Homo-oligomer: A and B are copies of this chain.
Amino acid sequence: MSSEWIEHAEARLAEAGYRRGGARRAVIELLAAGHCAMTAAEIEERLRESGRRVGRASVYRTLEQLDALNLVTRLDVGQGTARYEVALPSGDHHHHLVCDRCGRVEPFEDPELEATIERISRRVTAFHVGEHDVVLHGECARCAG
């Protein structure tokens, strides 16, 4: 899948002076395999299911480190829990649809949206804009019945 991203992430971590470690590696591999934003709890649970038990603190610490190096994107969709997903070095990214009923999160892409936000980001002078998030709230087909 995005095994290239794994290499990329490990390289950046090494550059930044981090040593290797099993827990962090496991989190990185899981993130690379996942399709969309996961919560810390989901990561911990899925690792335990797969037999690779990782301490909760290590999950959070790893996510914090990856976020600081812009290797993952942190996303807040409003359920009180942060979600994280791989940030590709190409800068390519998507945004999210969130079902406010069941919490389901799905990605979507739109080039025009990106262009519009780019334009706004340049226009704004009071802020030096970096990342951006667009979240569309609603009901997924399943919940809408």
Contacts and interface: CB of A to CB of B under 8 A. Distances in A.
Interface residues of A, number: 38
A99 B116 contact: no
Interface in A44-98: 74, 76-78, 80, 82, 97
A78 B74 CA distance: 8
Given A112-B116, A117-B113, A134 B132 contact: yes
A138 interface: yes
A133 interface: yes
A127 B139 contact: yes
B97 A129 contact: yes
Q: Which of A99, A119, A127 has the most CB of B within 10 A?
A: A127
B127 A136 contact: yes
A12 interface: no
Interface string A98-124: 011000001010101100110111001
A112 B97 CA distance: 20
B121 A136 contact: yes
A1 interface: no
